[in-house]
Structure 1
Amino acid sequence: MTHDYTSHIRWTGNRGAGTATYRGYDRTWDIAVPGKPVVHCSNDPLLGGDRRKMNPEDLLLSALSACHMLWYLHYAAEAGVIVTGYEDDPVGQGEVGPGGAGRFIAATLRPRIRVAAGTDLARAEALHHRIPEVCFIARSVNFPVHHAPEFLVEP
């Protein structure tokens, strides 16, 4: 079974002369999906982008983390692991090759998961290992995704 995802990308960086010169335009755009808030984006700050806006690398890493979280919560509910809070500070490692072409070479998800008192932490930890088999985003990337969870037990 297949299904489609749609989005609308609109370049917002025309300063008046379009791409007449390489430095004469901004690398900014909006992501608009019907019925959802618009996301204002820019390229990587290392390439002169606006640090206040999301860039493609931010979006990919965030999507990877969110997909993992949603599957983790699903598996936790099935396994009787009561999660009361979940935050992640993922880190993606990138490299730039000759000629400026870049890519992700790895990512590490570092979720801090708050669980109910009495939780079997080994069971809670084991749930992470099932997710790469089903997470849409993790299954779509060509770099390794590591997991370094931290569990906080409710008093």
Structure 2
Amino acid sequence: MAHDYTSRIVWTGNRGQGTAHYRAYDRTWDVAVPGKAPIPCSNDPLLGGDPTKMNPEDLLLSALSACHMLWYLHYASEAGIVVTAYEDAPIGKGEVGAGGAGRFLEATLRPVIHVAAGTDLALAEALHHRIPAVCFIARSVNFPVHHAPRFVVAG
């Protein structure tokens, strides 16, 4: 079943001269999806962007991690694994080629997952391997996504 996703990108970087020359404008915008709080964004700090704002690479890596997390929680619930906390610090590796064209080479998700005492940790680990087949974002990227989970058992 096909369905649409929508987003609205609003450039906020016009300093009054538009794109009259390369240094005349800021590389800032808002992700402004109707009915949701806007997310102020900028380009990568390596390209002169604002390091305090999300950039496209941050957003892609975050979407990949969030999609994985939501599927993990779903599968854990189905398997009877009680997850009490989940936090990820994913890392994406990229490269910039000649002419400035960049791409992701790989990403590693590194969730720390708190589980109830008595949890079957082998099963908890195995759930991660099911997710690439169903996660919308992971199925849409063209680079490898690795998983390096760590479990904390309540005790």
Measured against the shorter chain, the TM-score band is: over 0.9
Give the alignment's TM-score, normalised by structure 1: 0.99
Q: Distance in 2 between matches of 1:35 and 1:86?
A: 27
Aligned to 1:86: 86
In the other structure, the counterpart of 1:7 is: 7
Gap runs ≥5 in structure 2: none
The one-letter amino acid paired with 1:3 is H
Match of 1:134 in 2: 134
Mapping for residues 103-122 of structure 1, pairs under 5 Å = 103-122=103-122
- CA RMSD between the two structures: 0.4
Partner of 1:40: 40
Q: Deviations over 1:37-60 (max 9, x none)?
A: 000000000000001100000000
| Counterpart position of 2:99 | 99
**CA distance in structure 1 between the aligned counterparts of 2:136 and 2:84, rounded to whole angstroms:** 24
Identical-pair percentage:
80
Flag as ranges the 4+ runs of structure 1 deviating above 2 A: none
What do the CA deviations read for 1:107-145 (whole angstroms, capped 9, x no partner)? 000000000000000000000000000000000000000
The alpha-carbon deviation at position 35 of structure 1 amounts to: 1.2
**CA distance in 2 between partners of 1:54 and 1:14 (Å):** 18
Q: Distance in 2 between matches of 1:15 and 1:91?
A: 34
* Runs of 5+ consecutive residues of structure 1 not aligned to the other structure: none
Please give the TM-score of this superposition, normalised by the length of structure 2.
0.99
* Matches of 1:28 and 1:35, distance apart in 2: 21
User: Separation in 2 of the partners of 1:111 and 1:31?
Assistant: 26
Q: What residue is the counterpart of 1:72 in the other structure?
A: 72
- For 1:12 and 1:34, the matched residues in 2 are separated by 17
Structure 2: which amino acid aligns with 1:134?
V
What secondary structure is seen at the aligned counterpart in 2 of 1:138?
coil
CA–CA distance in 1 between the matches of 2:3 and 2:57?
Answer: 24
Q: Distance in 2 between matches of 1:3 and 1:109?
A: 27
Number of corresponding residues? 155
Which stretch shifts more, 129-138 or 27-36? 27-36
